[in-house]
Amino acid sequence: MLAFQGGDRGAFEALFDRYRAPIWTFFRRRIWQRAEADELTQETFLAVLQGASRYEPRAAFRSYLFAIAFNQLLAWRRRAQRDAARAPEGQDVSTEAADPADLLWVREALAALEPDDREIVMLREYDALSYAEIATLVGLPATTVRSRLFRARGALRARLVGEPVAEGQRP
Amino acid sequence: MSTIHEVNREDVMAFLDGELSGDRAAAIRIHLDRCPECRTLADDLRRVSERLSAWQVGHPSDAVVMPTGATTPGGPVTPGRSPRLWFGAHVARSPWSVAVAATLLVGVVAAVNYVRRRALVYDGAPFVSYDRFAAGKGGPDTDGALKKTPPAAAAPSAFADSISAQVPPGSALQSRNAITGGLAAGQPLVPAQAGAKDSRMIVRAVTLSLSTDKFDDVRAAIDRVTAAHQGRISSLSAGGDQPTHRSLSATVLVPVLKTDAALSDLRALGTVVQESQSSEDVTDSHRDLTIRLANAKVEEGRLGELLARRTDKLADVLAVEQAQSRIRGEIEQMTAEEQAMAGRASLATITVQVEERYRAEIALGPATLSTRFHNALVDGLRGAIDAVIGVTLAMVRVGPAAALAGLVWLWPGRWVWRRIRQ
């Protein structure tokens, strides 16, 4: 990012190539419309470009990028709440999984969590953010993030550890 | 999971997540070797992660492309996405932002137009045609200062280049830019009859009000001036109270390049009371029209090819024929519009209004006292005659209606009168 600030256009291309997929999957797991995920990914990188001159390397660029993406997501959720016609997120997400039953199982287990806990778990499990990075994003102390993550994983452990069971027999 | 430990279970999780420092991580690793309960916890947490990893969402589509247009941080950037994706999402989300953007766009366009108009104004004259810039020749109101290249003249080319750089190859927008770019690169937009070398299309209109003592010569003089400058009279009307205060109005069309000379001759017909000039730049409108016309012709050609094959079902053939008929109508309409617009730009419209200077017929000499009495007497007689004529005309106008009203009210009036008398 500093190289891009110095005028190296290729540096931004490298950043885009590296983080395009992680940012897109971040949105895709949280928004069921693929086009919306595409759009928010674009807007995230656009925001990076527009704010490049103000960028200060206080943290890793990855943290900075995910903070922008997270803000985009929150803004999208606020708009979605205002727009009654918009379908709720998390519905009918197109996914790839070897076993659709496994996928459904996982998604039901995540859906059963508290929204804040679910967000923390997803940021850790799928986006591989550190506790400190998650704490910055969600605005909580790192210790609170850790305890909530442990609580959420405990709930998932109760639901997911063991072989998938037939419909109606799941915990 | 309720056994008292020297190790916090959250530390086990943090260890697995790589969140612990070296010493603490080593301690947890040793503890896990000794504590089956924590080992079970660690195994379960690993399995939770494995289960969660079953949810994969694939890879981003080609619609997610790098924003383009910025060569330096903080510079102008464009989203680099398809117009449908960007516009559709923003309109759906924030109509207010679209309204604000539209307002800003209108403001920018107005500012550009204002700057262009300011560039056209020179030395008090409200209009200087661009073809003077192109011709580069002097005239009554053209000099070296006017021959510099106007800033607006270079704008279309730069704009077309900047847009072309942002449009994916092969897109419809790029085709449009190819057309506009070609035009900006030097293809003349103005029809040959306009005689202008510049690509701007300006519709020019002049209104000239004159006052003259020699009104009888005006009509012939206008014909002469029009013929001398290869123009034509679009309309002409004369009126007024003869013989003291007559007027004439004529609309003359002359080639743009001869406008100044024709105006100069027309001004000599009398005293200029008022003169106004205006111009309208129709370059963009003409360019859009030309592009739409070209696209329509291409579409018509494709439809013709489809129809020539005739391998489809009858319903499809009929649909193609309908589309072909529609596009043919559009082409003819646009062709007529384009020709009309070119005609308007090639000929300047001069509206000449000439009024006879008012004078009492007898008051030709210096205004002596006797002359003033004489003029007053003439005016008084004319006023008396006008009054008699006016009263007569009024009686003629209202007489029949008054007679009819009298007939209607005759009997009721008599009845009322008798009742009053009794």
Kindly state whether residue B381 falls inside one of the protein's structural domains.
yes
Residue B46, chain A, CB below 8 Å: the answer is no
Q: Name the B residues in 167-196 with CB < 8 Å from any A CB.
A: none
> What pLDDT is attached to residue B370?
82
Judgement on whether residues A121 and A163 belong to the same structural domain of the protein:
yes
Domain shared by B88 and B177, yes or no: yes
Q: Are residues A160 and A113 in the same domain?
A: yes
Structural domain includes residue B23: yes
Nearest to B57 among A25, A79, A130 (CB): A25
Task: Give the per-residue pLDDT at B357.
Answer: 74
Q: Are A124 and A134 in contact (CB under 8 A)?
A: yes
Are residues B29 and B96 part of one domain?
A: no
Say which of B66, B81, B89 has its CB closest to residue A13: B66
Residues of A in contact with B77 (CB under 8 A): 46, 49-50
Q: Is residue B142 part of a domain?
A: yes
Q: What is the pLDDT of residue B123?
A: 38
In a domain, B332, yes or no: no
Model confidence at A146, pLDDT cuts 50, 70, 90, reads very high
A97 in contact with chain B, both atoms CB, cutoff 8 A: yes
Helices (H), B246-282: 259-267
Q: Do B48 and B101 fall into the same domain?
A: no
Identify all chain A residues contacting B9, using CB atoms and an 8 Å cutoff: 150
The answer on B140 and B95 residing in a single domain is yes
pLDDT tens digits for range A90-108: 444 555 555 667 778 888 8
B43 and B128 assigned to the same domain: no
- pLDDT for res B284: 80
Domain contains A123: yes
Bridge partners of B68, per DSSP, are B78
Residue of chain B whose alpha carbon sits nearest to that of A109: B52
CATH of the domain at A68: 1.10.1740.10
Residue B92 domain flag: yes
SS3 track for chain A: CHHHHCCCHHHHHHHHHHHHHHHHHHHHCCCCCHHHHHHHHHHHHHHHHHCHHHCCCCCCHHHHHHHHHHHHHHHHHHHHHHCCCCCCCCCCCCCECCCHHHHHHHHHHHHCCCHHHHHHHHHHHCCCCCHHHHHHHHCCCHHHHHHHHHHHHHHHHHHHCCCCCCCCCCC
B87, closest residue in chain A (CA to CA): A39
Touching B: A residues 117-156, CB under 8 Å? 121, 124-126, 130-131, 146-147, 149-150, 153, 156
Specify whether A61 is located in the same domain as A106: no
> Domain boundary residue among B147, B166, B193?
B193
Same domain, A77 and A138: no
Inter-chain residue contact B81 with A42, CB threshold 8 Å:
yes
Has residue A120 got a pLDDT over 90? Answer: yes
Residue A170 belongs to a domain: yes
Find the domain containing B379 and state its range.
Answer: 368-393
Residue A146, in any domain of the structure: yes
Same domain, A31 and A73: yes
Whether the CA torsion A64, A69, A70, A75 is positive or negative: it is positive
Please answer yes or no on whether A126 and B55 come within 8 Å at the CB atom: yes
A81: in domain: yes
Whether B97 and B172 share a structural domain:
yes
Tell which A residues from 33 to 72 touch B, by Cβ distance under 8 Å.
34-39, 41-43, 45-46, 49-50, 52-55
State which residue of chain A sits closest to B93, comparing Cα positions. Answer: A79
Q: Is the pLDDT of residue A17 over 80?
A: yes
The whole-number pLDDT of residue A108 equals 86
Q: Which residue has the tokens 């612990």?
A: B20
> Are residue B34 and residue B110 in the same domain, yes or no?
no
Clarify whether residues A141 and A76 are in a common domain.
no
Q: Between A71 and B135, where is the model more confident?
A: A71
Measured in Å, how far apart are chain B's first and last C-alpha atoms? 128
The answer on A27 and A68 residing in a single domain is yes
So what's the pLDDT on residue B168?
38
Check: pTM over 0.80? Answer yes or no.
no
Closest residue in A to B43 (Cα–Cα): A161
Averaged over successive runs of 10 residues, the pLDDT of chain B (422 residues) comes to 67 91 88 89 91 83 69 48 43 56 73 61 36 36 37 35 35 35 34 46 85 84 89 81 73 87 88 83 82 85 76 72 84 86 84 76 61 88 93 91 90 90 82
**Residue B347 lies inside a defined structural domain of this protein:** no
A128 and A168 inside one domain: yes
A169 touches chain B (CB under 8 A): no
With CA atoms as reference, report the closest residue to A124 among A104, A108, A105, A110: A110
Residues A20 and A81 in one domain: yes
- Cβ separation of A21 and B14 shorter than 8 Å? no
Task: Say whether A38 and B80 touch across the interface (CB within 8 A).
Answer: no
The C-alpha atoms of residue A39 and residue A86 are separated, in whole angstroms, by 15
Q: Is residue B283 part of a domain?
A: no
- Count of domains forming chain A: 2
Q: Would A62 be classed as within a structural domain? A: yes
Contact yes or no for B55 and A103 at CB 8 A: yes
Q: Which of A28, A55, A88 is the last residue of a domain?
A: A88
Do residues A78 and A113 both lie within one domain?
Answer: no
Stretch 233-272 of chain B: residues touching chain A, C-beta under 8 Å: none
Residues B89 and B43 in one domain: no
Nearest-by-CA chain B residue for A99: B54
Residue A21 resides in a domain = yes
Are B96 and B41 in a shared domain? Answer: no
Task: Tell me the C-alpha distance between B202 and B151, whole Å.
Answer: 16
Radius of gyration of chain A (CA): 18
- Residue A3 lies in domain: 1-88
Q: Are residues B175 and B99 in the same domain?
A: yes
CB contact under 8 A, B17 and A124: yes
Residues A127 and A154 placed together within one structural domain of the fold: yes
Query: Is the Cβ–Cβ distance between A69 and A133 less than 8 Å?
Result: no
Counting the structural domains of chain B, the total is: 3
Q: What is the pLDDT of residue A31?
A: 86
pLDDT band at A85 (very low <50, low <70, confident <90, very high): low
Q: Give residue B310's pLDDT.
A: 61
Q: Which of A88, A114, A142 is the last residue of a domain?
A: A88
CATH number at residue A151: 1.10.10.10
Verify whether the Cβ–Cβ distance B89 to A49 is below 8 Å. no
Instruction: Choose one of A35, A68, A88: the last residue of a domain.
Output: A88
Q: Return the residue of A nearest to B17 by Cα.
A: A130
| pLDDT at residue A70 tops 90 | yes
Residue B377 lies in a domain: yes
